[in-house]
Chain A
C-alpha cells in the first residue's frame, strides 16, 4: 500500500544497526534522526530482497526471520453511528537482533513492538507494547493468518486452514481506548514496486512490499468506556527488508489516500539533509491495477504548521499528481495526532478535497 520512503522500512520505529540495539533508538525521540542515520549501515548475515522473487500467499503473510525488519500495518478511516469520524491504527513490528539465531524459546533474537491508536476530532489515543519472540507472547502465523502481541490481535475470521487476509478481525486497546474491527477485502492484494520488489533509493536499497488497500471495516470503537459502532475503509501494509535508509535521510512523510471513486493513491516524500526530497508513489485503480509514479510527476508541499511536542509539524498539505490530474489539499481530523511512543511521530486520519475528494492516513516522521 505504501512505498516507504527511502529505506524507511519502519515508519514507526527506527531500525537497529549492529551497534545500537532497538531500544536505544526507542528510548528518546531526540535520537530518532540519529537512528535513521544508523539505518544506513549494512547488516551482515541478513538476507536481501532479490528482484524477480515471486510472493506466495498465504505463506508470505507470515514472518520472514531471515530479514532484519518486518511489519504488519493497518489503518482505518471510520465514521461512527453518531456521525462523527474516527481513525484507528494497528501496527506490529518485528526486529531481528541477530541473524541466524535459533528462533526458539528465549534464544529467539526477535523483538516485537506494536503501536495502536484511535483518533477522533477532539482526542487522540495511543499505546505501545514490546515482546520477546520465540515464547508465544508475540508472533505471526501465516495460515490461518494470525498476528498478535499480548492481547492485541490481527487474525483471519475464516476457519479454513489456508485462510489468508481476505477477512480479518483486528483489535487493540489499553485503559483509555479500544477497538474491534472486522475487515473484509473487496479487491485484490496489490504488489508494490516490481511484483513486490520495491526499490527505496537510487543506491539500490529495496524491500518486499505488498498492500491490501481495499478493506471495508465494521466494528466498535470504545473511548473512555463509551462504545460506538463504526464503519468505513481500511488499508493494510506488509513489508520486510534488511537494509536501512540512505546515510543522509532524516525522515519522511507518507500518504495513503482512498479516493471517493474507488481508486487509491500511495505517496511518500523522503526528506534529506543535503538533497531535495525524494518522491515516490503508486496509483491503484479501483480494480487493483497499479501504476508506479515517478518523482517528476509528484508535487507535495506543506501548507501550514503547528507546534506539537516542541516541533513544527505541517498540518495541511497540497498534493499534485500531474499524470492523474490530482490537485488536492489535505486536512487532518485531529491536528494533534501525535504518537508519543518510542520513537515519536505523527500519524492520523485526514480528509482531502480539491480536484478529488476522499479520506486517508498521513504519517510524518523525523521532525
Chain B
C-alpha cells in the first residue's frame, strides 16, 4: 500500500458491530474494513448472519432487531445519522444489489425511469440530463439497444439483464460502497459468470461487499474473503490464501460442498 492510500480513510470501516433480537445476540461484535477498489466476500451458510450484517451497514434492519457499533463510510460515521440523512446515503453513497431484481424493481415503472428517479434524488440533475445518464449507465452495463432497455419494464428483461440493470442502479450515483446480497444466486451458472465479470469490472471504482453462500462465486471476483458462522467472522484473508490453505473447519466445510471445491475426478 502506498502513502496516499494509507492516508485515505477506508471506504468502509466497521468496528464492534453488534446485532440483537430482544435478548438474543445474533452478531456479537463484527469488525471489517474495505478499501477503495477492493471486493470483499462475506461467505456463510443460510442463517450465519451475513445478510443482517450487510443490511445493518445501510441501517436497513427491521424494528425487531437492534444494532450498535461504529460504521464509517469514507471516514464519516454513518451509524449516528438520522433516518432522513440515511435516506440520502442509501442509493447514493451506498448502492445495493439484491438477489431478485424482479421483486425489488417496481413492476409499473420502466427501468429507465427507476434510474432517473434515483439520479434526480441524489444528484439533483435536470430530467433531460438524468435520462442521458440513465441511458449511458445501462449501455455501460451492456444492456442491448440504448433506447430499448431504458423503456423496458422489468418483466421484459431476462434475469441476467435485470441484474445488469440493478447493478447499473447501484452504481449510477457513483457510490463509495456497493453491497451485493446474493446477486448471482437466482441465475443460471453461465449467466452468473457474466454478472460476476460485470460486477468485478464495474465495481472497481467503489468498494464492494459481496454476500453469498457460494464460495465459488465469491472466489471468482473477491480480493479477500470473510467466512461467517453464527454471527462471527471465523476466518478472513486474501482469497488465494484462504482457498489454498483454509484453517478454520467451517471454511473447509464450505469448500467441500462447493461444486468446484472438492476434487472432480
Does B associate with A? no
